[in-house]
Amino acid sequence: MNVLTAIYNYSDGILTVKLNGEIDHHSVRDIRVEIDRQICFYRAREVLLDLEAVSFMDSSGLGLILGRYTRVKENGGTLKVQNPGAAAQRVLRLAGTDKIIPVVFNRDEHNS
């Protein structure tokens, strides 16, 4: 089982969560709780979920993303998915999530 880890960086109202590993039903629970804690602690107006180092994502990843999207939006903020790999892009596209949640491919695009 591949461990899912996260690195959190907060700057200028933006919380970046860089995920590393596989997002599946085994790995998502603890990360979900910690991301929510970080969002609440920083009261981030924008959250970037960086998926560049995610090697696998199933429907649990969709649940993780959509749940954080809802939480951030309820607090008046925005959430974007950053740098998803081909597999993650395919899952987002098949579910239609990419039509709801902006997907960006470099740090400079988060302000657009």
- Enumerate the domain spans of the chain: 5-111
pTM beyond 0.85: the answer is: yes
Distance separating alpha carbons of residues 19 and 69, to the nearest angstrom = 16
b/e for 89-103, b at 16 or more Cβ within 10 A? bebbeeeebeeebeb
Tens digits of per-residue pLDDT, 49-99?
Answer: 999 999 999 999 999 999 999 999 998 999 999 999 988 999 999 999 989
Is 5-111 assigned to CATH 3.30.750.24? yes
Amino acid at 105: F
